[in-house]
Amino acid sequence: MDAREPGHYIEAIPCPVWSDVTSPGVSGPAWEEFDTDCTTVFWIAVPTTESKRMRSYHLAPPTGPSETSALAVTLDATEDSTNGLTALEMAAAMKDEMAFVRAANEIDWSQRSAADFARSVRLALGTGAHELARRLAAQGSRLHPEHPELQKMGRVLAPPRVVRTGLPPVPSLSLNHDWLRTHRDEYRGQWVALKDGILLQTAATARQLWANLKSTPGVLITKVN
């Protein structure tokens, strides 16, 4: 397909208003198979690229039978009184991770308040944009070192890091694995405590098991599944 063909950019966006409406007989946005009994409407949205500051969705009329006429929804970062945060909120409400990331990339974060960063990190986490949440938390905590929540976000979402290397091995690990393989059926559903391949305790909950152990270092506790 030619990369400039309109179809290349077309994406089907379920209308959020009716997102809970079921569509019997329709498994996807294949209009030639559109069932006349169906009540779900798919909008064909063609993102334009005239302006990097403007996110505009021209909604083409659906090619299947529908009572919905073509509507135009424009998300304009320059006219948005919240300077783009509304677009983030909308994308988050639709659980649209891609739209969320696109909207976030159009915001000039260098001038944003600590509250905006904190709100956006939470929205990103709720949308599943975990890498973006980390990036915003890092930038926000750098720009607003006085803001406790952003500092916490920056710390919790930071990339994992190696704290210590060269720790001694535990040669008896395989003994615990052997015990679990051998006794799995007998103890299924129970919490067990093992050390060097020897069963120390069993209990219905991890808390009970932990409380019954005389010593915990080096003891493997796990639920037998």
| Long-range contacts at 60-63 (CB < 8 A, ≥ 24 apart) | 60/10, 62/31, 63/31, 63/34
Q: How far is the CB of 198 from another protein (least distance, A)?
A: 14
Residue with Cβ nearer another protein (53 or 155): 155
- Should residue 138 be labelled a site residue for another protein when binding is judged by CB under 8 A? no
Distance CA 201, CA 187 (A): 11
Q: How far is the CB of 205 from another protein (least distance, A)?
A: 6
- Should residue 170 be labelled a site residue for another protein when binding is judged by CB under 8 A? yes
- Should residue 153 be labelled a site residue for another protein when binding is judged by CB under 8 A? yes
Q: Which residues pair with 169 in a beta bridge?
A: none
- Should residue 183 be labelled a site residue for another protein when binding is judged by CB under 8 A? no
Contacts with 127 (C-beta within 8 Å, 6 or more apart), sequence order? 91, 92, 95, 96, 97, 100
Q: Which stretch binds another protein (CB under 8 A): 26-34, 35-43, 67-75, 186-194?
A: 186-194
- Should residue 166 be labelled a site residue for another protein when binding is judged by CB under 8 A? yes
Question: Concatenated DSSP letters for 51-119?
Answer: -SSEEEEEEEPPSS--SPPP-EEEEETTT-TTTTHHHHHHHHHTT-HHHHHHHHHTS-GGG--HHHHHH
Residue with Cβ nearer another protein (77 or 114): 114
Give the contact letters, 90-129, x = binds to another protein (CB under 8 A), - = no: --------------------------------x--xx-x-
- Should residue 185 be labelled a site residue for another protein when binding is judged by CB under 8 A? no
